[in-house]
């Protein structure tokens, strides 16, 4: 069985050997040969009938060779032997015609052109030489065998002429034919290449008539809409567009009208499964000799790019962690609602929410736990309001809610609902997250218009009213009252803090620390107070404001300068006395604070080892590398460090290992009930043991009773601090109470 040849292989075979074609090329030769035979057999004729019969029989092997060669794959379908066998046929016709003409001057010798032309078109140059030799023999043999008078020697001239035709003219014709074949082959290859490029293009290609109807599409185009190419032909390309859109029709009209020679646009196709596919159209009008003007449309699937761009657009307006709107989107929606209120009257409210004690979650349980809590709170807020309302994460643990409609009562109800939801959710969690609550500030747009103040600032101040009132609640700015939020005082606190720095209105109180080895007060912790007329303001009321407005480094620098000055006086009373000074996390690594430490120690000529800088564990958590570098630089001066609130954070022992601390101040939560709780006592014992092994001293905070003090002694705590030892007092009272005469403490 002959092997099947694929269409591509057939095309390649045809291109490689153009002579292998249909037998149609043999028909003209056959027709001429038949006409020649017919002229011989028609009367009058003088030669015997068998001459014409021999001529007819001589065509039989030509036909046989031709059909036999058709079944041979390795040979050209026009086998040269068939051409060679035409020479005896031509000789017989020449002889018969010459006899009937009364001599050798026969016009039938023209039939020698049949094999010569045959081989010039289909043969090789060598085969033409063979044909030339056969042409000469066709004339020479009768002259030599039969001779005059039938075949005079003058026939040699005719033989020479035919040999020249075969050797000179036929090769020229052959070159012409070969050139035409090569050009045709190149044209076919180019056409096939164009066909393959069209059919195999990785993107969709469609040819349209000026009316937008599909003339032809490639496979990729058909795949885009889930059909076969023939099913799309004849339909308008716009018929495959998503319902309700007419971008393709407009695209075609603009091209045909000549407004654009090349045009790009985007549209959405609807595939056979009902799915939308975003595509980019790139079209141009091309001329075609057969069809006139044709619109060629390149169609590229940009669904992935569109999804990527949509994702980028979403990320630009939404918080990555919670999926809620971000501050940028929130401010845009707020401005849009304010414009609406100006046109149609104020309605709705703005709520700002801040999570209480959230920092402890990050510090004690890690940032992953904090992130998960934020995601959960975001979901709770989204479910607590309507779909038309806007919920956003403004940064950190702060959220904003825009209620697009409603009054003050409605805003109050939503605020209470949010507070209850957060508290209820936190109650189901373990550890420090139980203490997470929400402080909410609510301001209606009507109240904001009455105050003629930025509603975002009013809501922020109102939220801090909730915090100052004890947290875990909502504060609402009443409508119809011009009294500003109580936390508007926070805006005044900045100027008050700045004034206190300028006019030395801060005061330093000292809380004694007892050395349990000899029950002597050998050091004290410096605690900051702010004098406001007759009121002494504790740091809890203004430190967070100073941190929020960026004034804390200045405050810490003031504290350091005055603490070192106080330390110099205390050491004149007790040369071994030491002071512990708290530093805010906002001051760690600040050059101005470091410079204040160095300058103060130099100015007052104080031994640096007498200055103990306290850094809370939560401050160290913020940036361990920064805290370590700061501690290394200050330690090089000779100062000591204490890690405050040790045990309150998740990474306590990690920081104890990686940071340079001389003292470990045990968090009061593990000390306050150590005489009643075996768990607290075990924790206390483990902290003391680890600190001792690391060469660090321990300080127990919240020592408020003799029983607690006794446990601390028994477990090996080095220093004790608390109301039992002494409350914070001004400098003069501290000196008179704790340094002039050491007071005996009650025992358990």
Report the distance separating Cα 308 and Cα 303, nearest Å.
8
Preceding omega of 89 cis (within 30 degrees of 0): no
Report the distance separating Cα 727 and Cα 711, nearest Å.
20
Marked catalytic residue, from 319, 397, 644, 645: 397
Phi-psi region of 152 (alpha: psi -120 to 50; beta: other; left: phi over 0): beta
Q: What is the CA radius of gyration of the chain?
A: 53
Report the distance separating Cα 48 and Cα 56, nearest Å.
14
DSSP β-bridge partners for residue 474? 440
Q: DSSP letters along 259-323, please?
A: S-SEEEEEEEEE-TTS-EEEEEEEEEEEEETTTEEEEEEEEEE-HHHHHHHHHHHHHHHB-TTT-
Buried b (16+ CB within 10 A) or exposed e, 385-407: beeebbbbbbeebbbbbbbbebe
Q: DSSP letters along 586-599, please?
A: GGTT-HHHHHHHHH
Q: DSSP letters along 392-447, please?
A: EEEETTEEEEEESS--HHHHHHHHHHHHHHHHHHHHTS-GGGGG-EEEEEEEEHHH
Task: Report yes or no: 327 and 395 within 8 Å, Cβ to Cβ.
Answer: yes
Report the distance separating Cα 714 and Cα 388, nearest Å.
63
Task: Report yes or no: 184 and 18 within 8 Å, Cβ to Cβ.
Answer: yes
Task: Report yes or no: 360 and 648 within 8 Å, Cβ to Cβ.
Answer: yes
DSSP β-bridge partners for residue 439? 354, 473
DSSP state of 321: T
Task: Report yes or no: 94 and 111 within 8 Å, Cβ to Cβ.
Answer: yes
* Residues in CB range of 491: below 8 A, 6 or more apart: 461
| Residue 444 CB-density burial (10 A; 0-12 exposed, 13-18 middle, 19+ buried) | buried
Does the annotation mark 301 as catalytic?
A: no
Report the distance separating Cα 736 and Cα 722, nearest Å.
19
Task: Report yes or no: 597 and 553 within 8 Å, Cβ to Cβ.
Answer: no
Angle (CA) 333 334 339, round 5°: 95
Chain length of the chain: 748
Report the distance separating Cα 582 and Cα 614, nearest Å.
5
DSSP β-bridge partners for residue 612? 580, 640
Task: Report yes or no: 278 and 265 within 8 Å, Cβ to Cβ.
Answer: no
Residues with catalytic roles: 397
């Amino acid at each position: 069985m002959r092997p099947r040849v694929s269409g591509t292989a057939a095309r390649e075979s045809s291109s490689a050997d153009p002579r292998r074609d249909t037998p149609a090329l043999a028909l003209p030769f056959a027709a001429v040969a038949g006409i020649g035979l017919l002229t011989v057999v028609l009367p009058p004729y003088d030669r015997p009938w068998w001459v014409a019969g021999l001529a007819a029989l001589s065509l039989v092997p030509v036909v046989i060779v031709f059909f036999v060669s058709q079944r041979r794959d390795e040979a050209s379908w026009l086998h040269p032997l068939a051409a060679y066998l035409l020479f005896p046929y031509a000789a017989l016709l020449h002889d018969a015609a010459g006899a009937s003409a009364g001599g050798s001057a026969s016009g039938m010798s023209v039939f020698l052109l049949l094999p010569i032309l045959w081989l010039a078109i289909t043969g090789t140059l060598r085969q033409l030489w063979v044909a030339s030799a056969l042409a000469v023999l066709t004339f020479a043999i009768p002259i030599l065998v039969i001779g005059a008078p039938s075949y005079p020697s003058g026939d040699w001239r005719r033989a020479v002429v035919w040999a020249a035709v075969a050797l000179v003219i036929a090769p020229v014709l052959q070159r012409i034919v070969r050139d035409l074949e090569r050009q045709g082959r190149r044209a076919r290859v180019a056409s096939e290449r164009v066909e393959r490029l069209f059919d195999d293009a990785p993107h969709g290609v469609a040819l349209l008539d000026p009316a937008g109807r599909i003339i032809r599409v490639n496979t990729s185009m058909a795949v885009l809409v889930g059909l076969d190419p023939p099913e799309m032909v004849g339909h308008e390309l716009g018929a495959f567009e998503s319902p309700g859109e007419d971008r393709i029709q407009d695209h075609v009209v603009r091209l045909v009208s000549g407004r654009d020679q090349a045009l790009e646009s985007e549209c959405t196709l609807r595939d056979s499964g009902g799915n939308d596919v975003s595509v980019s159209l790139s079209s141009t009008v091309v001329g075609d000799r057969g069809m006139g003007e044709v619109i060629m449309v390149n169609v590229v699937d940009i669904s992935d790019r569109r999804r990527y761009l949509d994702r980028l657009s979403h990320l630009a307006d939404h918080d990555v962690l919670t999926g809620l709107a971000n501050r940028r989107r929130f401010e845009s929606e707020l401005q849009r609602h304010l414009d609406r209120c100006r046109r149609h009257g104020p309605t709705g409210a703005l709520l700002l929410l801040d999570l209480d004690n959230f920092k402890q979650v990050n510090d004690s349980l890690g940032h992953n736990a904090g992130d998960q809590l934020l995601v959960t709170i975001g979901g709770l807020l989204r479910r607590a309001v309507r779909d038309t309302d806007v919920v956003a994460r403004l940064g950190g643990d702060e959220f904003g809610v825009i209620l697009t409609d409603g009054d003050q009562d409605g805003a109050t109800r939503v605020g209470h609902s949010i507070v209850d939801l957060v508290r209820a959710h936190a109650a189901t969690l373990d550890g420090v997250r139980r203490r997470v609550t929400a402080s909410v500030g609510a301001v209606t747009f009507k109240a904001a218009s009455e105050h003629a103040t930025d509603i975002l600032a009013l809501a922020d101040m109102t939220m801090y009213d909730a915090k100052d009132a004890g947290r875990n609640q909502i504060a609402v700015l009443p409508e119809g009252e011009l009294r500003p939020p109580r936390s508007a005082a926070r805006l005044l606190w900045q100027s008050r803090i700045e004034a206190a720095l300028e006019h030395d209105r801060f005061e330093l109180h000292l809380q004694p620390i007892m050395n349990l080895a000899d029950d002597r007060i050998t050091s004290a912790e410096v605690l900051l107070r702010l004098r406001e007329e007759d009121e002494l303001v504790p740091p809890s009321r203004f430190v967070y404001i100073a941190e929020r407005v960026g004034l804390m480094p200045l405050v810490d620098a003031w504290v350091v300068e005055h603490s070192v000055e106080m330390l110099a006086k205390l050491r004149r009373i007790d040369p071994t006395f030491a002071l512990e000074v708290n530093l805010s996390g906002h001051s760690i690594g600040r050059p101005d604070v470091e410079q204040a430490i160095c300058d103060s120690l130099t100015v007052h000529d104080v031994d640096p080892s007498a200055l103990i800088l306290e850094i809370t564990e939560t401050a160290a958590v913020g940036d361990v590398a920064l805290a370590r570098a700061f501690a290394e630089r200050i330690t090089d001066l000779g100062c000591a460090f204490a890690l405050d609130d040790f045990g309150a954070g998740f990474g306590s022992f990690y920081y104890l290992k990686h940071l340079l601390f001389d003292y470990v101040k045990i968090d009061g939560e593990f000390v306050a009930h150590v005489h009643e709780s075996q768990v607290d006592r075990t924790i206390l014992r483990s902290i003391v043991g680890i600190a001792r092994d690391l060469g660090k001293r321990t300080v127990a905070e919240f020592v408020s009773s003799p029983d607690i003090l006794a446990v601390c002694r028994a477990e090996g705590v080095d220093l004790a601090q608390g109301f039992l030892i002494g409350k914070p007092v001004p400098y003069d009272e501290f000196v008179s109470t704790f340094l002039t005469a050491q007071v005996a403490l009650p025992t358990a």
